[in-house]
Each structure stands twice: as C-alpha cells, then as structure tokens.
C-alpha cells in the first residue's frame, strides 16, 4: 500500500550568496564558512583551471566561467555573487568578470577580491599598499599594474614564485609571517595585502597587524567583507577592516 501525503512549500528563504571557486582552491570555502554570519546561505560552484598559474592560463578561465555559474541551482537570486580569484580578476579585467557572472545568474551584486580590495582601501583611507603574492613575477606584476591604474601606490611587493596552485595552500604560516613583516619594514605603506584565495592567511591577520602596526588585508577577508556589505549584512572576521566597517546596505 502506497500513501500519498499532502505538503506545503516553505516560502521563506535566507539571503543567499554564491562563490565561483577555482578547481584547485582548497582554502576559500573553509574561510567563508568561518567569515559569513549564520543567517546566510553559501552556494559554491567550481570552474576548471590549469595547474600552472600563468597569465595565459588565468585568462583562459573566461571560457568556462559562464558554464560554471550556470550550475548553480535553478531559480536562485543571489544577494551577491563572487568570483574567488584575485590574479584571475586582474588578468581578465573586473568588467569582463562581472559581465560573465551576470550573464549566467540572477544576482543583485557581483564581487571579486580585486574590487573588494579597492573598496576596503577606500573605506580605510589606504593609498600606499604593500603586496605579498604567492605567484611568479608576471602574475604579481599584473595585479600591481591594475591597482596602480586605480590610483593606488604600490611601493613594495614580494612573491614566493610558486609555479603551481596546489603548492600555494601548502605555504606555511612562518613563511607568510616573515615575508609580510619584511615588506612592511622595507617601505612606508598604509596597509599590506596578502593576495590569493588559496593562501591560508585568515588565522594570521590579527597577528601580522599587531606586529607591523598596519591594517592587513587578504583576498578571502576582503571578498567576504565586500559581499556582505553588498548584501546589507554584517560579516565577522579578523583584521582592522571588520572592526571599523559597518554594513553599507543592500546593493541593487
């Protein structure tokens, strides 16, 4: 005997945010689940990416972005949709990334670590930025080029020259702490930026800020903060950015 039962559909839905994550990234999802408030639903899709991090490979991702976004559940309307790749956003261009994301999903706002960093710098009055990147010099140089075009000064940079994405997540805390302190010592800057969503920095930000006496940003930190600003919600997290910023309201 088979019983058929009536049912009702729950019309209430928590705010939803989406992340497009590189295939090789092992860090950003974990960080976001720590950074986002409990009254937000996080949905994630992954996009193919080559193992070697080069400017060419980063730009090739554009051929897969729309398809990756289309794999989100049908009918979702995001409060914010983010592309979780800092160097990829610089290589492709923020406008291209935004267009590709919007073409395949319904979302009130879009973000990426580069746009989020620029907003964070504006919010804290940062004009001179030191940058630590895990990648080879051409990839790091492209990021600096874009930031300078946006009006920031980048007087000092450093990189680990790691060739493959799978190695980035294995860079240990001691290496990051030492490099950040050295950059802060070598030039007068208003803040430091630890670039790459796969670099494990969230647990180090307060420690680095205390050591260097400056605001310290990281890719996942600024991206989560910016997306929550767009959604009109309060994110939680380390660093001076979270301590001085309040939600800016929903972004249409």
Which pLDDT score is estimated for 11?
Answer: 81
Residue 252, pLDDT > 50, answer: no
Residue located via tokens 């959604």: 231
Residue 186, domain member (yes or no): yes
Inter-residue contact 240 to 190 (CB < 8 Å): no
Shared-domain flag, residues 128 and 98:
no
Residue 76, domain member (yes or no): yes
Residue 122, domain member (yes or no): yes
Inter-residue contact 43 to 76 (CB < 8 Å): yes
Q: What is the CATH number of the domain that holds 107?
A: 3.40.50.12500
CA atoms within 13 A on the CB side of 231: 28
Shared-domain flag, residues 79 and 38:
yes
Inter-residue contact 40 to 15 (CB < 8 Å): yes
Residue 126, domain member (yes or no): yes
Which pLDDT score is estimated for 243?
Answer: 86
**Rounded (10°) angle between helices 94-104 and 62-70:** 30
Distance CA 113, CA 58 (A): 15
Shared-domain flag, residues 83 and 153:
no
Shared-domain flag, residues 40 and 127:
no
Q: What is the CATH number of the domain that holds 190?
A: 3.40.50.1860
* Structural domain for 49, as ranges: 16-112+222-244
Number of domains in the chain: 2
Shared-domain flag, residues 21 and 107:
yes
Q: Is 105 exposed, middle or buried (0-12, 13-18, 19+ CB in 10 A)?
A: buried
pLDDT tens digits along 188-247: 999 999 999 999 999 999 999 999 999 999 999 999 999 999 999 887 899 999 988 654
Shared-domain flag, residues 123 and 103:
no
Q: What is the pTM of this model?
A: 0.93
Distance CA 132, CA 209 (A): 14
Distance CA 229, CA 250 (A): 7
pLDDT tens digits along 53-90: 999 999 999 999 999 999 999 989 999 999 999 999 99
């Amino acid at each position: 005997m088979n019983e058929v039962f009536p049912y009702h559909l729950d019309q209430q839905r928590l705010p939803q945010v989406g992340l497009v994550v590189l295939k090789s990234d092992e860090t950003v999802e974990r960080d976001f689940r720590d950074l986002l408030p409990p009254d937000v639903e996080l949905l994630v899709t992954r996009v193919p990416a080559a193992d070697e991090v080069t400017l060419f490979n980063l730009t090739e991702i554009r051929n897969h972005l729309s398809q990756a976004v289309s794999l989100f559940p049908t009918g979702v309307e995001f409060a914010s949709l983010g592309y979780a790749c800092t160097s990829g956003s610089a290589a492709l261009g923020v406008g291209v990334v935004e267009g590709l994301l919007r073409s395949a999903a319904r979302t009130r706002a879009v973000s990426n670590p580069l746009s989020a960093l620029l907003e964070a710098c504006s919010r804290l009055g940062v004009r001179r930025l030191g940058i630590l990147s895990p990648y080879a010099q051409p990839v790091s140089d492209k990021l600096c080029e874009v930031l300078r075009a946006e009006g920031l000064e980048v007087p000092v940079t450093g990189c680990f020259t790691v060739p493959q994405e799978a190695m980035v997540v294995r860079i240990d805390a001691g290496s990051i702490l030492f490099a950040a302190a050295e950059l802060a010592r070598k030039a007068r800057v208003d803040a430091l930026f630890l670039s790459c969503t796969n670099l494990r920095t969230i647990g180090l930000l307060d420690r680095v800020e205390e050591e260097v006496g400056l605001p310290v940003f990281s890719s996942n930190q600024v991206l989560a903060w910016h997306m929550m600003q767009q959604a009109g919600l309060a994110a939680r997290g380390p660093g001076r950015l979270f301590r001085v910023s309040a939600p800016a309201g929903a972004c249409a």
